[in-house]
Amino acid sequence: MMSPKRPFLKVAADKGEGVRKALLESGLLDVDYKIVFQDGTLSLPLCQTVQREHLDSILGPIDYTTGEMDFDSQSGGPKTLLEALEHRLSPEELELVPRAYDLIGDIAVLEIPEELSGQSETIGQAFHEVHRHFSTVLAKKGAISGTTRVREYQYLAGEDKTDTIHTEYGCRFAVDLSKAYFSPRLLEEHNRIAQLVGNGEFVVDMFCGVGPFPIHIARQHAAHIVAIDINPDAIALLNKSIALNKLVGTIEPIVGDARDYPKNHVADRVIMNHPSGAFDFIPDACRILKPGSSLHYYDFIGNENPEGTITDKLTHLVETAGHSVTRIDLVRRVRDSAPYEYQMVVDAIIE
Ligand SMILES: C[S@@+](CC[C@H](N)C(=O)[O-])C[C@H]1O[C@@H](n2cnc3c(N)ncnc32)[C@H](O)[C@@H]1O
Protein backbone atom coordinates (compact mmCIF):
# COMPACT_ATOMS: atom_id res chain seq x y z
CA MET A 1 0.00 0.00 0.00
CA MET A 2 1.22 3.52 -0.80
CA SER A 3 1.50 6.26 1.82
CA PRO A 4 0.85 9.99 1.42
CA LYS A 5 3.97 11.79 0.17
CA ARG A 6 6.90 11.61 2.58
CA PRO A 7 10.17 13.56 2.77
CA PHE A 8 13.10 11.58 1.40
CA LEU A 9 16.80 11.75 0.64
CA LYS A 10 18.23 10.34 -2.62
CA VAL A 11 21.84 9.21 -2.92
CA ALA A 12 23.99 7.11 -5.31
CA ALA A 13 23.51 3.41 -4.50
CA ASP A 14 27.20 2.87 -3.64
CA LYS A 15 26.87 5.46 -0.83
CA GLY A 16 23.50 4.05 0.24
CA GLU A 17 24.52 1.75 3.10
CA GLY A 18 26.63 4.39 4.90
CA VAL A 19 23.86 6.96 4.54
CA ARG A 20 21.19 4.47 5.69
CA LYS A 21 23.20 3.71 8.86
CA ALA A 22 23.87 7.40 9.63
CA LEU A 23 20.17 8.31 9.20
CA LEU A 24 19.07 5.33 11.32
CA GLU A 25 21.46 6.27 14.13
CA SER A 26 20.23 9.87 14.07
CA GLY A 27 16.59 8.74 14.33
CA LEU A 28 15.80 10.29 10.92
CA LEU A 29 15.19 7.18 8.77
CA ASP A 30 11.50 6.26 8.68
CA VAL A 31 11.75 2.49 9.05
CA ASP A 32 8.01 2.03 8.48
CA TYR A 33 8.49 2.59 4.73
CA LYS A 34 10.46 0.70 2.07
CA ILE A 35 13.65 2.18 0.62
CA VAL A 36 13.37 2.60 -3.17
CA PHE A 37 16.20 1.39 -5.47
CA GLN A 38 15.99 2.91 -8.98
CA ASP A 39 18.51 3.78 -11.74
CA GLY A 40 21.56 3.34 -9.51
CA THR A 41 20.16 5.49 -6.68
CA LEU A 42 18.53 4.84 -3.31
CA SER A 43 15.65 6.99 -2.04
CA LEU A 44 15.42 6.77 1.75
CA PRO A 45 12.18 7.83 3.55
CA LEU A 46 12.69 10.36 6.38
CA CYS A 47 10.61 10.77 9.56
CA GLN A 48 10.32 14.51 8.96
CA THR A 49 11.62 17.28 6.71
CA VAL A 50 15.21 17.91 7.80
CA GLN A 51 17.21 21.06 7.12
CA ARG A 52 20.09 20.66 4.70
CA GLU A 53 22.68 21.95 7.23
CA HIS A 54 21.56 19.28 9.70
CA LEU A 55 21.81 16.53 7.04
CA ASP A 56 25.26 17.81 5.98
CA SER A 57 26.46 17.61 9.57
CA ILE A 58 25.31 13.98 9.82
CA LEU A 59 26.35 12.75 6.36
CA GLY A 60 29.52 14.73 5.69
CA PRO A 61 30.63 15.80 2.20
CA ILE A 62 28.55 13.62 -0.17
CA ASP A 63 26.16 14.43 -3.02
CA TYR A 64 22.47 13.92 -2.33
CA THR A 65 19.11 15.46 -3.13
CA THR A 66 15.93 15.76 -1.06
CA GLY A 67 12.24 16.02 -1.89
CA GLU A 68 8.88 14.37 -1.29
CA MET A 69 7.46 11.21 -2.87
CA ASP A 70 5.21 8.19 -2.26
CA PHE A 71 6.67 5.14 -0.50
CA ASP A 72 5.33 1.62 0.02
CA SER A 73 4.79 0.88 3.70
CA GLN A 74 6.46 -2.11 5.39
CA SER A 75 3.12 -3.29 6.80
CA GLY A 76 -0.55 -3.07 5.91
CA GLY A 77 -1.47 -1.00 9.04
CA PRO A 78 -2.65 2.63 9.17
CA LYS A 79 -0.30 5.10 7.47
CA THR A 80 -1.13 8.33 9.25
CA LEU A 81 -2.24 9.26 12.75
CA LEU A 82 -5.56 10.52 11.39
CA GLU A 83 -6.16 7.22 9.56
CA ALA A 84 -5.36 5.26 12.75
CA LEU A 85 -7.80 7.40 14.75
CA GLU A 86 -10.57 7.54 12.12
CA HIS A 87 -12.90 5.16 13.95
CA ARG A 88 -11.82 6.06 17.48
CA LEU A 89 -12.49 9.82 17.54
CA SER A 90 -15.37 12.00 16.33
CA PRO A 91 -14.84 14.21 13.25
CA GLU A 92 -14.71 17.26 15.58
CA GLU A 93 -12.02 15.58 17.71
CA LEU A 94 -10.05 14.53 14.62
CA GLU A 95 -9.83 18.22 13.63
CA LEU A 96 -7.94 18.91 16.88
CA VAL A 97 -5.41 16.05 16.67
CA PRO A 98 -1.85 17.49 16.69
CA ARG A 99 -0.13 17.42 13.29
CA ALA A 100 3.41 17.98 14.66
CA TYR A 101 5.46 16.44 17.44
CA ASP A 102 8.93 16.78 18.99
CA LEU A 103 11.48 14.08 18.34
CA ILE A 104 14.00 13.61 21.17
CA GLY A 105 16.22 10.59 20.55
CA ASP A 106 13.82 7.62 20.34
CA ILE A 107 11.06 9.46 22.24
CA ALA A 108 8.17 11.29 20.52
CA VAL A 109 6.56 14.10 22.50
CA LEU A 110 3.02 15.16 21.55
CA GLU A 111 1.24 18.35 22.54
CA ILE A 112 -2.38 17.31 22.98
CA PRO A 113 -4.90 20.16 23.22
CA GLU A 114 -6.92 20.50 26.43
CA GLU A 115 -10.15 19.52 24.58
CA LEU A 116 -8.65 16.07 23.79
CA SER A 117 -7.07 15.41 27.21
CA GLY A 118 -9.54 12.55 27.86
CA GLN A 119 -8.33 10.88 24.63
CA SER A 120 -4.58 11.24 25.24
CA GLU A 121 -3.85 7.54 25.64
CA THR A 122 -5.93 6.61 22.57
CA ILE A 123 -4.00 9.18 20.54
CA GLY A 124 -0.65 8.00 21.93
CA GLN A 125 -1.40 4.33 21.16
CA ALA A 126 -2.51 5.22 17.62
CA PHE A 127 0.63 7.35 17.13
CA HIS A 128 2.78 4.39 18.17
CA GLU A 129 0.95 2.06 15.75
CA VAL A 130 1.84 4.43 12.91
CA HIS A 131 5.39 5.29 14.08
CA ARG A 132 6.69 1.97 15.42
CA HIS A 133 10.31 3.13 15.36
CA PHE A 134 9.81 5.37 18.44
CA SER A 135 10.44 3.47 21.68
CA THR A 136 8.24 5.80 23.71
CA VAL A 137 5.38 8.24 23.19
CA LEU A 138 4.85 10.98 25.80
CA ALA A 139 2.58 14.03 26.03
CA LYS A 140 3.55 17.42 27.44
CA LYS A 141 1.71 18.05 30.72
CA GLY A 142 1.52 21.64 31.93
CA ALA A 143 4.01 24.39 31.32
CA ILE A 144 7.76 24.52 31.86
CA SER A 145 8.20 26.05 35.30
CA GLY A 146 10.37 26.47 38.38
CA THR A 147 14.07 27.18 38.71
CA THR A 148 15.16 24.05 36.84
CA ARG A 149 12.71 24.66 33.93
CA VAL A 150 11.51 21.04 33.87
CA ARG A 151 7.97 20.15 32.80
CA GLU A 152 5.88 17.08 33.57
CA TYR A 153 5.12 14.46 30.92
CA GLN A 154 2.31 11.94 30.62
CA TYR A 155 3.29 8.45 29.48
CA LEU A 156 1.16 7.38 26.50
CA ALA A 157 2.64 4.35 24.73
CA GLY A 158 5.68 2.11 24.20
CA GLU A 159 8.42 1.78 26.81
CA ASP A 160 7.71 3.75 30.01
CA LYS A 161 10.82 5.95 30.20
CA THR A 162 11.91 9.58 29.91
CA ASP A 163 15.64 9.14 29.17
CA THR A 164 17.27 8.82 25.78
CA ILE A 165 20.28 9.82 23.68
CA HIS A 166 19.50 12.70 21.32
CA THR A 167 21.66 13.59 18.29
CA GLU A 168 21.86 17.04 16.67
CA TYR A 169 24.56 18.19 14.24
CA GLY A 170 26.48 15.01 15.11
CA CYS A 171 26.54 15.90 18.86
CA ARG A 172 25.14 13.23 21.18
CA PHE A 173 23.31 14.29 24.35
CA ALA A 174 22.16 12.23 27.31
CA VAL A 175 18.68 13.61 28.05
CA ASP A 176 16.16 12.82 30.76
CA LEU A 177 13.03 14.85 30.18
CA SER A 178 11.75 14.32 33.74
CA LYS A 179 14.99 15.56 35.33
CA ALA A 180 16.48 18.42 33.29
CA TYR A 181 15.50 20.92 30.60
CA PHE A 182 16.14 20.02 26.96
CA SER A 183 14.55 21.37 23.78
CA PRO A 184 15.19 19.83 20.34
CA ARG A 185 14.04 23.14 18.80
CA LEU A 186 17.22 25.04 19.70
CA LEU A 187 19.59 23.03 17.50
CA GLU A 188 20.31 25.85 15.06
CA GLU A 189 21.01 28.28 17.90
CA HIS A 190 23.38 25.82 19.60
CA ASN A 191 25.26 25.38 16.32
CA ARG A 192 25.21 29.11 15.49
CA ILE A 193 26.89 30.07 18.77
CA ALA A 194 29.44 27.25 18.46
CA GLN A 195 30.47 28.58 15.04
CA LEU A 196 31.29 32.00 16.53
CA VAL A 197 33.78 30.60 19.04
CA GLY A 198 37.51 30.68 18.29
CA ASN A 199 40.18 28.20 19.35
CA GLY A 200 41.67 29.12 22.73
CA GLU A 201 38.57 30.99 23.94
CA PHE A 202 37.41 30.85 27.55
CA VAL A 203 33.60 30.53 27.50
CA VAL A 204 31.18 30.56 30.43
CA ASP A 205 27.71 29.07 29.90
CA MET A 206 25.89 30.37 33.00
CA PHE A 207 22.75 28.17 32.59
CA CYS A 208 23.98 25.18 30.62
CA GLY A 209 21.18 22.63 31.24
CA VAL A 210 22.33 19.24 29.90
CA GLY A 211 25.07 21.12 28.04
CA PRO A 212 24.13 21.51 24.38
CA PHE A 213 26.14 24.75 23.90
CA PRO A 214 29.29 23.35 25.63
CA ILE A 215 29.14 20.07 23.68
CA HIS A 216 28.63 21.82 20.31
CA ILE A 217 31.52 24.20 21.07
CA ALA A 218 33.93 21.56 22.41
CA ARG A 219 33.28 19.30 19.41
CA GLN A 220 34.26 22.09 17.01
CA HIS A 221 36.91 24.15 18.83
CA ALA A 222 39.86 23.81 21.21
CA ALA A 223 38.11 26.14 23.67
CA HIS A 224 37.61 25.84 27.44
CA ILE A 225 33.95 25.99 28.49
CA VAL A 226 32.81 26.46 32.08
CA ALA A 227 29.32 24.91 32.18
CA ILE A 228 27.22 25.94 35.20
CA ASP A 229 23.78 24.71 36.20
CA ILE A 230 21.96 24.76 39.52
CA ASN A 231 20.28 21.42 38.73
CA PRO A 232 22.60 18.50 39.71
CA ASP A 233 20.71 16.16 37.34
CA ALA A 234 21.49 18.44 34.39
CA ILE A 235 25.21 18.34 35.22
CA ALA A 236 25.12 14.53 35.70
CA LEU A 237 23.63 14.25 32.19
CA LEU A 238 26.28 16.63 30.82
CA ASN A 239 28.99 14.41 32.33
CA LYS A 240 27.49 11.45 30.43
CA SER A 241 27.47 13.46 27.19
CA ILE A 242 31.11 14.46 27.64
CA ALA A 243 31.91 10.74 27.54
CA LEU A 244 29.66 10.18 24.48
CA ASN A 245 31.36 12.73 22.20
CA LYS A 246 34.76 13.17 20.66
CA LEU A 247 35.76 16.61 21.97
CA VAL A 248 38.65 18.82 20.97
CA GLY A 249 37.87 21.43 23.63
CA THR A 250 37.51 20.97 27.40
CA ILE A 251 34.34 21.31 29.48
CA GLU A 252 34.39 22.15 33.20
CA PRO A 253 30.96 21.21 34.59
CA ILE A 254 29.90 23.00 37.79
CA VAL A 255 26.78 22.36 39.88
CA GLY A 256 25.80 25.66 41.44
CA ASP A 257 24.27 29.10 41.22
CA ALA A 258 25.81 31.11 38.37
CA ARG A 259 25.93 34.07 40.78
CA ASP A 260 28.53 32.21 42.84
CA TYR A 261 31.02 31.66 40.01
CA PRO A 262 34.09 33.15 41.68
CA LYS A 263 36.30 34.29 38.77
CA ASN A 264 36.19 37.91 37.56
CA HIS A 265 36.94 39.19 34.02
CA VAL A 266 38.05 35.80 32.67
CA ALA A 267 35.59 35.04 29.87
CA ASP A 268 35.88 35.89 26.17
CA ARG A 269 32.21 34.92 25.83
CA VAL A 270 29.27 34.40 28.20
CA ILE A 271 26.12 32.50 27.20
CA MET A 272 22.91 33.31 29.10
CA ASN A 273 20.25 30.99 27.70
CA HIS A 274 17.78 31.18 30.59
CA PRO A 275 15.16 33.34 28.87
CA SER A 276 12.78 33.53 31.85
CA GLY A 277 15.47 34.59 34.34
CA ALA A 278 18.71 35.78 32.69
CA PHE A 279 17.78 39.48 33.13
CA ASP A 280 18.48 39.07 36.85
CA PHE A 281 22.08 37.94 36.28
CA ILE A 282 23.44 40.77 34.10
CA PRO A 283 25.74 42.18 36.85
CA ASP A 284 27.25 38.68 37.24
CA ALA A 285 27.75 38.28 33.49
CA CYS A 286 29.48 41.69 33.32
CA ARG A 287 31.72 40.67 36.21
CA ILE A 288 32.69 37.35 34.54
CA LEU A 289 33.35 38.89 31.07
CA LYS A 290 36.70 40.41 30.08
CA PRO A 291 36.12 44.04 28.95
CA GLY A 292 35.25 44.18 25.25
CA SER A 293 33.95 40.59 25.11
CA SER A 294 30.82 38.84 23.80
CA LEU A 295 27.54 38.31 25.59
CA HIS A 296 24.70 36.15 24.20
CA TYR A 297 21.58 37.26 26.06
CA TYR A 298 18.23 35.41 25.72
CA ASP A 299 14.79 36.61 26.80
CA PHE A 300 11.09 36.02 26.10
CA ILE A 301 9.67 39.14 24.41
CA GLY A 302 6.17 40.05 23.19
CA ASN A 303 5.63 40.32 19.45
CA GLU A 304 5.57 44.11 19.15
CA ASN A 305 9.01 45.21 17.90
CA PRO A 306 10.80 42.37 19.77
CA GLU A 307 14.19 43.37 18.26
CA GLY A 308 13.96 46.93 19.63
CA THR A 309 12.52 45.82 22.97
CA ILE A 310 15.24 43.28 23.79
CA THR A 311 18.03 45.62 22.65
CA ASP A 312 16.73 48.46 24.86
CA LYS A 313 16.21 46.07 27.78
CA LEU A 314 19.75 44.65 27.59
CA THR A 315 21.32 48.11 27.18
CA HIS A 316 19.44 49.39 30.23
CA LEU A 317 20.35 46.33 32.36
CA VAL A 318 24.03 46.57 31.40
CA GLU A 319 24.14 50.32 32.15
CA THR A 320 22.43 49.77 35.50
CA ALA A 321 25.20 47.26 36.30
CA GLY A 322 27.79 50.00 35.65
CA HIS A 323 28.94 48.77 32.21
CA SER A 324 28.08 49.62 28.60
CA VAL A 325 27.02 47.90 25.38
CA THR A 326 29.56 49.05 22.78
CA ARG A 327 28.23 47.02 19.83
CA ILE A 328 25.22 44.90 18.89
CA ASP A 329 26.32 42.19 16.45
CA LEU A 330 22.97 40.45 15.99
CA VAL A 331 19.38 40.40 17.25
CA ARG A 332 17.43 37.31 16.26
CA ARG A 333 14.08 35.59 16.81
CA VAL A 334 15.13 32.13 17.95
CA ARG A 335 11.64 30.56 18.01
CA ASP A 336 7.99 31.22 18.87
CA SER A 337 7.74 30.60 22.61
CA ALA A 338 4.01 31.31 23.14
CA PRO A 339 1.21 32.99 21.20
CA TYR A 340 2.43 36.55 20.48
CA GLU A 341 5.83 35.92 22.11
CA TYR A 342 9.31 35.06 20.85
CA GLN A 343 12.43 33.67 22.43
CA MET A 344 14.92 36.35 21.35
CA VAL A 345 18.71 36.56 21.44
CA VAL A 346 21.07 39.53 21.34
CA ASP A 347 24.79 39.12 20.62
CA ALA A 348 26.47 42.16 22.20
CA ILE A 349 29.95 43.40 23.04
CA ILE A 350 30.16 44.60 26.66
CA GLU A 351 32.73 47.02 28.06
C1 LIG B 1 16.33 27.14 29.60
S2 LIG B 1 17.21 26.06 30.61
C3 LIG B 1 18.76 25.65 29.90
C4 LIG B 1 18.99 25.80 28.51
C5 LIG B 1 20.26 25.31 27.98
N6 LIG B 1 21.19 26.40 27.88
C7 LIG B 1 19.93 24.73 26.62
O8 LIG B 1 20.20 25.35 25.60
O9 LIG B 1 19.34 23.64 26.61
C10 LIG B 1 17.77 27.11 31.90
C11 LIG B 1 18.66 26.41 32.91
O12 LIG B 1 19.08 27.35 33.91
C13 LIG B 1 19.28 26.63 35.11
N14 LIG B 1 19.30 27.62 36.21
C15 LIG B 1 18.27 28.30 36.75
N16 LIG B 1 18.72 29.15 37.69
C17 LIG B 1 20.08 29.02 37.74
C18 LIG B 1 21.12 29.64 38.49
N19 LIG B 1 20.85 30.57 39.43
N20 LIG B 1 22.39 29.27 38.26
C21 LIG B 1 22.69 28.32 37.33
N22 LIG B 1 21.74 27.67 36.61
C23 LIG B 1 20.45 28.03 36.80
C24 LIG B 1 18.12 25.63 35.14
O25 LIG B 1 18.39 24.54 35.98
C26 LIG B 1 18.02 25.24 33.65
O27 LIG B 1 18.73 24.06 33.37
Spatial distance between the Cα atoms of 274 and 71, rounded to a whole number of angstroms: 42
CATH superfamily of 179-350: Vaccinia Virus protein VP39 (3.40.50.150)
Spatial distance between the Cα atoms of 342 and 351, rounded to a whole number of angstroms: 27
Per-residue pLDDT, 92: 94
Residues with CB under 6 A from ligand 1: 147-149, 180-182, 186, 207-209, 212-213, 228-231, 234, 257-258, 273-274, 277
Per-residue pLDDT, 1: 43
By the 8 A CB rule, do 211 and 218 touch? Answer: no
Torsion sign, CA atoms 325, 331, 336, 339? positive
C-alpha triplet 225, 296, 103: angle, nearest 5°: 80
Spatial distance between the Cα atoms of 209 and 224, rounded to a whole number of angstroms: 17
Please tell me the pTM assigned to this model. Answer: 0.83
Per-residue pLDDT, 132: 83
Q: HSE-up of 139 (CA within 13 Å, CB side)?
A: 24
Which spans in 137-198 are helix H?
A: 187-196
Q: pLDDT tens across 136-158, in order?
A: 999 999 889 899 999 999 999 99
Mutate to test the pocket of ligand 1, among 169, 188, 207 (most ligand atoms within 8 A of CB): 207
Per-residue pLDDT, 253: 98
Count the residues in the chain.
351
Domain ranges of the chain: 6-69, 81-161, 179-350
In this structure, which topology does domain 6-69 adopt according to CATH? Alpha-Beta Plaits (3.30.70)
Residues of the chain under the 50 pLDDT cut: 1-2
The architecture in CATH of the region 81-161 reads 2-Layer Sandwich (3.30)
